Amino acid sequence: MSRIDLALVEAFVLIARSGSLTKAESLSGVSKATLSRQLTRLEKLLGAQLLMRSPRRIALTEAGRAFFARGEGLLDEVTGRLEAASTEIHALTTGVSGGLSLLSDTQFSTSFVCHVVKLFLETHPDVRCQLDVANGFHAPQIGDVDCYVCSEPPDAPNLVAKLLGRLNYGLYASPQYLARRGTPSSPEELATHQSIVMKEPSVRSQVLLVSGASSFAFQPEPAFETNDHWVMKTFCIDGLGIALLPAFFVRPELEQGVLVPVLPQWQPEPRRIYCAYQRQRYMGQKLRSFVDLMARCVVDIDSYNYYVGSSTARRRRTAARP
């Protein structure tokens, strides 16, 4: 059997409900000739006569009664599903509700992204949010989330990387480490120090440190290596070496004195921070609103980190007090 066009079923049900082609034409605005052709086409496809036609009335045949019961229910179901889909699409494109799945690099998760999520949920309480940390256990893939906050967007098909801003980086160490190993006075002296390094998926490149018109290519030899920025900062606080970290990420520790800048006049070029998302997901109002909020908040990223690490040495001194 050839595939039956839904329009043919609609024409038949309309005629059967109306009781005449004239009334069906009046209700639908479709000409009697068109309705009659659609009915004939349907009967030919089904191989059965559905209506008995007479000058005064139209009556359902036995096959017509059976098909009318099925066809009427089918149209009601289709109409209901289309209305539900229309309501859902309207909510997605004009409202903000439903689930929002986020993926974030570790240095942005607890501080920046959590703060933006808090602000977003205060304005949109009907949204359910899930935040996963990249490279974590059971972390979702970029294609399975609404957006990914990162410093290096992955090379994936149909992926849009929106630049949110740029972050300053610097070298940091604990006062205990510098008291033990000495404070470097030039970038050349970094080679004699222990380095805490972020593990890279590919071959590690040099870090170009810049001071005015001068530059120095520094390739750290890792004494400690990790793929997590929080572990990296913890190693640094505990005096295991010098680390290159985002300035906003260590601001609370600098204020508490558990970390200090190393060669503050020598810094790498600011790094970019992106929000990456699948192009089709950005059509919804929910994701557009969240990305716009992140773009506004990244300007004040230095003020969003409230989570302060404390050094082992300071904890010991505190515990020793009477």
Average pLDDT value for residue range 70-92: 73
* Residues ≥6 apart with Cβ < 8 Å to 43: 49, 50
**260 has a pLDDT exceeding 90:** yes
Distances (CA, A) of 121 to 140, 222, 277, 289, 293: 22, 41, 20, 11, 11
Question: How far is residue 22 CA from its own chain's centroid?
Answer: 55
In the chain, where the domains are located? 6-93, 96-166+272-303, 169-269
Instruction: For 104-159, write each residue's pLDDT tens digit.
Output: 988 887 778 888 999 999 988 888 999 998 876 677 888 888 899 988 888 777 78
* Residues ≥6 apart with Cβ < 8 Å to 223: 194, 195, 196, 240, 241
Distance CA 294, CA 310 (A): 29
End-to-end alpha-carbon separation of the chain, Å? 92
Classified by CATH at the fold level, domain 169-269 comes out as D-Maltodextrin-Binding Protein; domain 2 (3.40.190)
Instruction: For 32-43, write each residue's pLDDT tens digit.
Output: 899 889 989 998
Most confidently predicted of 3-7, 148-152, 235-239, 282-286: 235-239
- Among 59, 51, 64, 46, which Cα is nearest to 2's? 46
Question: How far is residue 88 CA from its own chain's centroid?
Answer: 19
- Among 2, 10, 164, which Cα is nearest to 78's? 10
For the sheet with 222-226, list strands across it. 222-226, 195-198, 242-246, 169-173, 260-262
Question: The pTM is what?
Answer: 0.61
- Token readout for 296 is 């506004």
> Do strands 214-218 and 207-211 pair parallel, antiparallel, or not at all (unpaired)?
antiparallel
Poorest-pLDDT segment among 5-9, 149-153, 280-284: 280-284
Classified by CATH at the fold level, domain 96-166+272-303 comes out as D-Maltodextrin-Binding Protein; domain 2 (3.40.190)
Indicate if 169-269 has the same CATH topology as 96-166+272-303.
yes
**CATH architecture of the domain covering 6-93:** Orthogonal Bundle (1.10)
**305 has a pLDDT exceeding 90:** no
Instruction: For 193-240, write each residue's pLDDT tens digit.
Output: 999 998 765 545 678 899 999 999 988 888 898 888 889 999 999 999
